Every structure is written in C-alpha cells, then in structure tokens.
Amino acid sequence: MEPMDPFWFVTLVTLLAGAGGTGIGGAVGALVRSDSNKAVSLLLAFAGGVMTAIVCLDLLVEAAEASGEAVGGVWLAVLSVAVGVAVVYGLNYVIDKRTASEVPHTAEAGHPKTHDDIDELVHADHLAQHRRNNDSRASLVVAGIVMACAIALHNVPEGMVIGASFTVSDNLVLGAGMVMAVLIGLHNIPEGMAVSVPLISGGMGRARAVLLTAACGAPTVLGAWLGIWLGEVGPLGLTLSLGFASGAMLYVVYGEIIPESILIYRSKAPAFAVIVGILLGLVMMTLPSAV
C-alpha cells in the first residue's frame, strides 16, 4: 500500500487533534468529577512542559535559522512571536470577558485572572450559576453556542502550531508535528467540555451536542493549512509561520496551562510535572534522528 500524501496526513492528524480533542471533551463533559483536580493539574503541567521543550528547542531555533535568510533577520522572528502571543491573548480576553460576568465570584477581589478549579476550567460553575438563577434552557444553549464559536476561532492559531511543527519534522510519525498534535488534542478536551456542558443541560440532545462540540475543532485544519503554506513560501514565510506558532503556543502554556495547573492543585507537584515534560520533550525530539 502506498504511503499517504504528507499534506493529507497532516490534515487528518490535525482534524483528529482539533475535532477529536473537542469531541472527546464534549462526550465526557458531564461526567468529570471535581475531585479529579490533582490529576487534571498534573496532566496540564506535564503537557505544558512538553510543549515548552518543542517550542523553545525546535520551533524557535528553526525560526531563528530561517530568519537569517529573510529580510529583517532575527527581529522578524521576534516580531512574529509577539504577534502570535498578542493574537491568542486577544482571543482569550474576548472569551473571558464574555463569560466572566456569568459567575459573580470570579469578579470578586482576590480571585485570580484565570481558572483555579476544575469546575471553572470546564465552565461547570457557569452552569451552576444559571441553575441558581432559574435561567431558561434556551439561555444555556445560547451560552454554549457562543462558547463554541469562540473556541472555533481560538483553534485556528493552534492549527498553525501543528502545521508549522510538521514543516520542520523530518519524520511525520515521530517528529515534533505529531507530538504537538497529540498535546493540542489533549488541551482541547477541557475546551470541548466547556461547550457541551451548557448545551446538554440546556436540553440539546447528547449526540447533537457532541457533534457540534467536535465541529468547533474543525477550524484547526484551516490553521494547519495556513501554517504549511507559509512554511513553503520560503525563508520569510517559514520565519513568520514558526514565529507566530511559537508565540501562540508560548501564551497557551504560560498564560493558561501552567497558571491553571498551579492554581487547581496548589503544591510544588505541578512544577515537577513541567520539568518531567520538558525532559521527555527533549527525548522525544531526539527519537526521529535515532530511528
């Protein structure tokens, strides 16, 4: 049997990471227990460590090397990283601003500007507040659809991370692209839960809610295609693609994943999970050259 075309291989892997990750989250959204804080925290921290290794030891290095042949040099890479951070921060700001007002306690003095409990991470606290207010089921469905649209838009730069990672992978199956796709898929699970919880509780059928949740991950493929296209344009495109992808993922890791992991399980354990993730990421990146 002939091997699959690399473009369609990346497309399939990205679709599984995007739609698959959010779809899995949608399927289990109503089943997550709040006493799993420790496990969720350590998983988030570990994934953040692996992502850090891939971004800092692979994507940023490739972006800097490509910038040597592009107009503007390394400053172009720095600028593209900053743009990636700004874009993802902006998308998250819009999501938080839209949802924070639904739960009064998140606006109280002293509450961190990120999730500090698994119920907040999957927006179960928003559901509880709607129930306390005796809001209609229609309002829950609307809340879920708004969250679905926001997450769909948020998944585009995540797709660019996958596409850009594959452009510098010598081995499609064992390279940085596949590792990043798996990690982003895991990261998408709680996002899928944030969509399905209000949809199902609002009266939407479970199968339909899961399908809608999975559809939120589909735009990830568009981002992957954009990342691949920019990477093939030349040194300039490769620098822009890798820099933007690196910035987007750095914000996801240090603006979301690691703060959430520490606040959800307040101990030093998440720090060690990050370190283990970084070391494993380093080992995983050396595997393709050893195979």
pLDDT for 188-222, tens place per residue? Answer: 777 777 677 667 766 677 777 788 888 888 888 88
Residue 86 inside a domain? The answer is yes
- Candidates 24, 197, 201, 220; CA nearest to 121 is 197
177 neighbors 242 (Cβ within 8 angstroms) = no
Q: How many residues are listed for the chain in this entry?
A: 291
User: Do 250 and 85 meet the contact criterion of CB atoms below 8 Å apart?
Assistant: yes
Residue with the bigger pLDDT between 112 and 176: it is 176
Q: How far is CA 175 from CA 58, 262, 263, 282, 286, in A?
A: 10, 29, 32, 11, 9
How many structural domains does the chain have?
A: 1
Specify if 155 maps to a domain: yes
Supply the range of the domain harboring residue 170: 7-27+35-290
Please report the pLDDT score of residue 253 as a whole number: 85
In a domain, 230, yes or no: yes
Decide if 252 is inside a domain: yes
Residue 145 has pLDDT above 50, yes or no: yes
Contacts of residue 44, defined as CB under 8 A and 6 or more positions apart, other chains included, come to 257, 258, 260, 261, 264, 270
pLDDT value of residue 210: 81
Residue 124: predicted pLDDT: 52
Q: Specify if 1 maps to a domain.
A: no
Q: Is residue 269 domain-resident?
A: yes
* Token pair for 215: 């559809």
Mean pLDDT of the chain: 75
- Which pLDDT belongs to residue 138? 67
Q: What is the mean pLDDT of residues 100-116?
A: 55
Q: Does some domain include residue 238?
A: yes
In a domain, 2, yes or no: no
Q: What is the pTM of this model?
A: 0.70
Question: Mind spelling out the 3-state secondary structure of the chain?
Answer: CCCCCHHHHHHHHHHHHHHHHHHHHHHHHHHCCHHHHHHHHHHHHHHHHHHHHHHHHHHHHHHHHHHCCCCCCHHHHHHHHHHHHHHHHHHHHHHHHHHHCCCHHHHCCCCCCCCCCHHHHCCHHHHHHHHHCCCCHHHHHHHHHHHHHHHHHHHHHHHHHHHHHHHCCCCCCCCHHHHHHHHHHHHHHHHHHHHHHHHHHCCCCHHHHHHHHHHCCCHHHHHHHHHHHHHHHCHHHHHHHHHHHHHHHHHHHHHHHHHHHHHHCCCCHHHHHHHHHHHHHHHHHHHHHHC
pLDDT category at 1 given cuts 50, 70, 90 is very low
Rounded distance between C-alpha atoms, residue 58 and residue 88, angstroms: 21
